[in-house]
Every structure is written in structure tokens, then in C-alpha cells.
Structure 1
């Protein structure tokens, strides 16, 4: 996935109201930018770090935050890109879901039941395979962790997938890790024990858990390799 325009370099100053941040551009100008990520960006957003912005053509803000430099690693922070990255990994055969046959078609943002929505509906010769996509930016000790903040919505998605799986449907969670310095993905019980418990219960109900690492550069975001997912029973 290539960026639509050349990115603009800056330095993070502060974040506020969750979706806004102040950034100093290389020419000294300070701008307010859109932060397309509802999480805490734990370990990623720190004042003084280099970042790169995408110029926007609509809305009130001129820029959107896309990449933050963490040590020697470039981290993609735009959660809006996760669904397309997961789709790219699946359709390119980089990421394989057990039980999914090829060829398959893809629909985005589908409604499996009234009042609910999932990110992807894959359809092969056997029928429907429901997929929910989650973006990860937090890495500690070589583990990519989700979530980085309490997410009642995430737990709700897991319960829905578990219900569908219990009824004989094929379902999966795909984690998109937009950085290249982790060895595996883990549900972060220390951040949200309810989500971690729901993930374990969903896996026991037959929900597939998979993950893909994405390599970020200043030109593109590229699905690079699958990562193992570790789930643990709630303590």
C-alpha cells in the first residue's frame, strides 16, 4: 500500500483530545494534525520523536499522522489502513487462514447481525468466512500487544465472532502489526483482562487468530510476514 502523496517530516510535540496532536515541521512551523488512532499509542507517541505526515485535501486539518520513528523502527499509526493491509496479506497468500479456500471474494464492513458490523466478509466455495481486523502499534519485550487501552468494543467483537463460530460459521481475528520489531502477538491481559478473557474464550469456541507484520517505509506500508498469536487462559 503506497502513500497517496509524499510524506512531510516533523517532530511530535503533544497529543490532546485523542485525535489531535501538535507537530513542528522541519521549517519551524507548528501545525495541528489528525491522529487516526483511538488507542493510547503506548511506547510510540513521545514528544521529540520524528514523525511523518500525509498532506490531506479535505477536512479542517492540513495533515494526518502516518508514521512515528521509535528507535530504529518506523511505526505506522493509522488504524484506518489496517483493514486494507489485512486484505492485501490475505489475497496475496502471505497470510493463510485455516479452512479458507481459494479463490475467494472480499466485502468490507459487513453486517452479520442487526446492530453489529465486522471488517471483512470472505466468500469461497464453502460460503462465508467472517474476519475482524485489529491494528497494533504497541511492542514490549518483542511482543506485539493488543489492546493498548481498555476496549469494550473489541471484546464485543470477540463475543460476536464466538457466537457465529458456535453456530457453525467460520470466523477469524487478524491483527495487523504496523512495525517490524516483534516476534509474536499477545492479548494484553495486563491492559484489558476482559478482552484477554474474551479472546481466550473465542479461541475455544473456534475463532481463528492470525497476525501479519507490516513493514513501514516513507513510501509504503507492506505486509511482510505472518506472526504467531499467543492466547492465555484468564487468571
Structure 2
């Protein structure tokens, strides 16, 4: 996936979860933050960030916050990017199959899953989770408690019994990661839900990403430690 009209800036403040104040060309601009997570370890004063500019009079702000540098690592912060990148990856056969049919935002029973696939006689339900939290080369999810995340994991486990192939795909929005593990300290219930899902037959997968200020794409499979 590709971004246009990217500019470099410096993070200054985040008055609320939806907006940030960014210095761009010596001027403070209000930017939409496309990630409602806490991201406190990323959005530090004067951190280098990359923002996308829009010429749209109907927008409240002409800027979106896309990526941030943490040391030497560039991290994509766009919460919509993982699904877009996974959609391209699935179309290209990234899951090891070329789907006959792909539907995004698929409603099944009481949940909306990110992707539904058909391949020959197989039916797949896939949930995508973007990961921006990293500690010492370890990727962690979630960075804040998520009841919706647990519901999706439990749903995937339940639907295995109905004949679906299911997967939860953690998209790590950076590279240089040693392995992925659930953030037990933040939400032990989510970590337990993942273990239960794996026992039920859900595929628990993690991939890192190739990140530039203008792009993001799924890269290599990463070890998962539950």
C-alpha cells in the first residue's frame, strides 16, 4: 500500500486520542491520529514523524499522522494500514493459496471479521490485528485491554467446529522483531483466549512489515510465543 504527499515533521503534543500537534516546516499543524491506542512509548516530544497532506475542504484537518521513528526503527501508526496490506497480501497468495473469493468486513453471526475467503472447498475467516508495541525486539499485543479482541478470538475458535479454517493474523507494523507474544501484563484474559483458540485449531500467525514513510507491505513470518 502506498501513501502520497508525505512530509516529515516533529511530534509536539497529543491533546486527545484523535489529534496531535505536529511541527511541519516550522509551523504547528493539527493532524488526525489514525490510531486510538495509547502509543505513549512512540509519541515522545520531538519524535520524527511522517504525515500525509490532503487538499480537501471537507476535512477538519489537512493532515494524517502515518508513521513515527522510535530510535532507528520506523513504525507505521495507521490502524487502517494492516487490513489494506493484508488484503494485497492475500490476493497475491500470501496465505499459501490463491483465493477464489475474498470479502472484507464479513459479517458472520454476531461478529464482523476482517476477511472471508473461499478456496476450492475451504472457507476461511481471518481477523487482523495491527501491532505497534515493541519492547527489546519483542512485539506485543494489545497495548490496552480489548474486549472486542477477545470476542473475535473466541468467535474464531467456535467457528472451527463449524468447518471453517480460521486465523488471527498479527501484523507487526515495523521490522527488526525477534518474536511476537501476547501482552499478558496488560490483559491476561486476551493471552488466555489466544491459547484456547490455538488448542481449538485457530491459526495464530504473526508477520512483520517493510515500512517506508510512503508505504507498508507484509514481509516475513515471525515466531509466535504464547
TM-score, normalised relative to structure 2: 0.93
Aligned to 1:224: 219
* CA distance in structure 1 between the partners assigned to 2:218 and 2:180 by the alignment: 15
Aligned to 1:91: 91
- Structure 1 residues 67 and 176, CA, compared in 2 at 3 Å: closer, same or farther? same
Aligned to 1:194: 189
TM-aligned CA deviation for residue 211 of structure 1 = 1.6
Aligned to 2:69: 69
* CA distance in structure 2 between the partners assigned to 1:33 and 1:214 by the alignment: 24
Match of 1:105 among 95, 101, 105: 101
Please give the root-mean-square deviation of Cα atoms over the aligned residues, in Å: 1.5
Aligned to 2:147: 152
* CA distance in structure 1 between the partners assigned to 2:100 and 2:225 by the alignment: 27
TM-aligned CA deviation for residue 91 of structure 1 = 3.0
TM-aligned CA deviation for residue 64 of structure 1 = 0.4
Aligned to 1:21: 20
Aligned to 2:203: 208
TM-score, normalised relative to structure 1: 0.90
Whether the 8 Å contact between 2:131 and 2:139 is mirrored in structure 1 is yes
Structure 1 unaligned residues grouped into runs of 5+: none
For each residue in 1:138-181, what CA deviation from the matched residue of structure 2 results, as whole angstroms up to 9, or x when unmatched? 11121110101111111111111111113332111011111112
Structure with bigger strand share is 2
What SS is found at the alignment partner of 1:229?
coil
For each residue in 1:11-61, what CA deviation from the matched residue of structure 2 results, as whole angstroms up to 9, or x when unmatched? 111113212111111x21111111111211242121110101011335211
- Structure 1 residues 42 and 198, CA, compared in 2 at 3 Å: closer, same or farther? farther
Aligned to 1:59: 59
Alignment pair present for 1:165 and 2:163: no
* CA distance in structure 2 between the partners assigned to 1:192 and 1:164 by the alignment: 23
Whether the 8 Å contact between 1:94 and 1:225 is mirrored in structure 2 is no
Whether the 8 Å contact between 1:144 and 1:184 is mirrored in structure 2 is yes
* CA distance in structure 2 between the partners assigned to 1:215 and 1:92 by the alignment: 16
* CA distance in structure 1 between the partners assigned to 2:136 and 2:65 by the alignment: 25
* CA distance in structure 2 between the partners assigned to 1:8 and 1:146 by the alignment: 29
Match of 2:125 among 124, 130, 133: 130
Whether the 8 Å contact between 2:99 and 2:117 is mirrored in structure 1 is no
TM-aligned CA deviation for residue 95 of structure 1 = 4.5
Whether the 8 Å contact between 2:81 and 2:216 is mirrored in structure 1 is no
Tell me how many residue pairs correspond in the alignment.
Answer: 224
* CA distance in structure 1 between the partners assigned to 2:107 and 2:120 by the alignment: 20
Whether the 8 Å contact between 1:42 and 1:138 is mirrored in structure 2 is no
- Structure 1 residues 227 and 104, CA, compared in 2 at 3 Å: closer, same or farther? farther
Aligned to 2:2: 2
